[in-house]
Amino acid sequence: MTDADGSNVLFVVLDTVRKDRLSVYDPEMETTPNLAAFAEEAAVFDNAVAPAPWTLPVHASMFTGLYPSEHEATQEDPYLAGATTLAESLSAAGYDTACYSSNAWITSYTNLTAGFDDHDNFFQIMPSELLSGPLASVWRTMNDNDTLRSVADRLVQMGNKIHEHLAEGGGGDTKTPQVIDKTIDFIDDSDDFFAFINLMDAHLPYHPPEEYAEEFAPGVDSTEVCQNSKEYNCGAREIDDEEWDAITGLYDAELAHIDDQLDRLFSHLKETGQWEDTTIVVCADHGELHGEHGLYGHEFGIYDPLVNVPLMVKHPEIEPGHDAETTVELVDLYHTVLDAAGATGRGEPLAATRSLLSADYREFADDVGGHDRADVGFVEYHQPVVELRQLEGKASAAGIELDEQSRFYSRMGAARTPEDKFIHCTRIPDEAYHLDTDPGETDNVADADDPEIDALRDALWAFVEDVDADWPDEADGADGDVLDEMDDDTKDRLQDLGYID
């Protein structure tokens, strides 16, 4: 199609936001009253499942309708290649498309911004013109050329290192107000728009604006609490209950700031008469762990605080209210947005069984592993490379030797229903939980004689075969050192980006 034939679309990702810290899901929380007001007009899903626990593969899935093993933008090779994106499809359908973010993964560098007419990364140090606007094509050319790629990589490295230094000292002010300003300008200049924004405030490190810190973390110095998840995860740094309270207070303050900024955007849509004609999706790409299961951040695990994410969708064909029963996979948002825009996918075609707007949503023809496919959400976490090398560096500096037969060196996958969850890791025993009675995932029932868990185990293996993943046979720990198996060019890119030494 060549002309826009559906509603405008605003797609908002709350990066690293836990479901249980939002007023939408817990009325006792005072963090996000404006989002709670929005939720009164939207469908609110309790069982939304992210396909991975970190930014790149999740965004690639939402932009392509493919699972991580299918689009292959993973730890081992963090670039999206060979897949047509949602933005490309909507641009071809006549929509003006824009992507505004301060997440370093969502750039031309990783190809996630393919198809967006305008995009701005709002890097604190690196001029955004290098990654967006007229020079975006130049940037892509640099990435596609082996000689020029090292130049591009070093530019990113310089920006990342300076940003990290400032963030550790409490610098690195939020870019969310600028993201909202730019989004408002874009939608006001467009008749038919697809606007995607990623808001990064809730991502480590937590340095909220002062007025929000005073409300949610009074007396807390954000430069004095642990802001490095690797130090805690490797055992080099302990965090007591008082410090966890301080950390979560800072985190809540970041959420409150996001909430106020989103209200500014939503209010503008209403004041300018664009609200009713705009489909709005609000979700998190993944959550965060604050000490649960001995982990901090969003690495080395696929527990529910990471992969059971908030999701709210406003559209006339979706009835408002809480939905506690339907499993929604974030992969489905690709099809939902295509449907709302009246577009057909130029890559992965629109599938009615994947669109939340369809009466046939999740009415799959086949079960999976003996389990009703409609109820199951799948998660993949390719064996860590970036985080693992950082973790090893922190451990080595502290004189700690990491156990290679541990979650740190594992590749993981999960099958989840609203009631149950099965997790497979390549180097540690399987885990399974009855989420309806054990939402904290504390009682591992993987070894129990349980038909529901057995069915989920079978469902995971069937899914792995369906997406042609290559890790189930590595349960004996034979996966080895991923970096050793990489080609030199890929390792050079990761090194230039500052992710490995």
Burial class (CB in 10 A: 0-12, 13-18, 19+), 275: middle
Query: Using 50, 70 and 90 to split pLDDT, how confident is the model at 215?
Result: very high
Q: How many CB atoms lie within 10 A of CB 240?
A: 9
For residue 370, pLDDT over 90 is answered with no
Percent of the chain at pLDDT > 70 equals 82
Number of H helices, E strands in the chain: 16, 14
Query: Using 50, 70 and 90 to split pLDDT, how confident is the model at 489?
Result: low
Strands (E), 94-137: 96-101, 118-120
Instruction: Let me know: does 330 contact 51? Beta carbons within 8 Å.
Output: yes
Mean pLDDT of 81-90: 94
Q: DSSP per residue over 37-87, as a string?
A: HHHTTSEEEEEEE-SSSSHHHHHHHHHHS--HHHH--SSSS----S---HH
Residue 446 and residue 423: Cα distance in Å, rounded?
A: 9
Residue 152 and residue 493: Cα distance in Å, rounded?
A: 10
DSSP category for residue 144: H
For 422-457, how does the pLDDT look when each residue is reduced to its tens digit (9 = 90+)? Answer: 999 989 999 999 999 999 999 999 999 999 999 999
Quote the radius of gyration of the chain (alpha carbons, Å): 21
For residue 278, pLDDT over 50 is answered with yes
Query: Using 50, 70 and 90 to split pLDDT, how confident is the model at 497?
Result: very low
Instruction: Note the pLDDT of residue 88.
Output: 96
Instruction: Note the pLDDT of residue 124.
Output: 44
Percent of the chain at pLDDT > 90 equals 72
* pLDDT, mean over the chain: 86
Residue 247 and residue 294: Cα distance in Å, rounded?
A: 15
For 110-143, how does the pLDDT look when each residue is reduced to its tens digit (9 = 90+)? Answer: 889 999 999 887 654 444 444 444 444 554 555 5
Q: Which residues contact 99 (CB under 8 A, 6 or more apart)?
A: 87, 106, 113, 116, 118, 119, 120, 195, 196, 197, 198
Residue 97 and residue 478: Cα distance in Å, rounded?
A: 44
Residue type, 275: W
Instruction: Note the pLDDT of residue 501.
Output: 47
Instruction: Let me know: does 425 contact 53? Beta carbons within 8 Å.
Output: no
What 3-state class would DSSP assign to 14? strand
Tokens of 91: 């641009």
Mean pLDDT of 84-97: 96
- pTM for this prediction: 0.88
DSSP category for residue 109: G
What 3-state class would DSSP assign to 206? coil
How far is CA 299 from each of CA 15, 20, 52, 225, 416, rounded to the nearest angstrom? 14, 19, 10, 19, 19
Instruction: Let me know: does 331 contact 62? Beta carbons within 8 Å.
Output: yes
Helix H, strand E, coil C: the string for 223-254 is CCCCCCHHHHHCCCCCCCHHHHHHHHHHHHHH
Mean pLDDT of 218-236: 96
* Nearest CA among 487, 233, 340, 422 for reference residue 11: 340
For residue 499, pLDDT over 60 is answered with no
Residue 325 and residue 140: Cα distance in Å, rounded?
A: 43
Instruction: Note the pLDDT of residue 138.
Output: 52
Which has the higher per-residue pLDDT, 3 or 324? 324
Q: Which residues contact 141 (CB under 8 A, 6 or more apart)?
A: 148
Instruction: Note the pLDDT of residue 471.
Output: 66
Instruction: Note the pLDDT of residue 368.
Output: 87
Phi, psi of 283 (to 5 degrees): -150, 170
Phi, psi of 118 (to 5 degrees): -135, 135
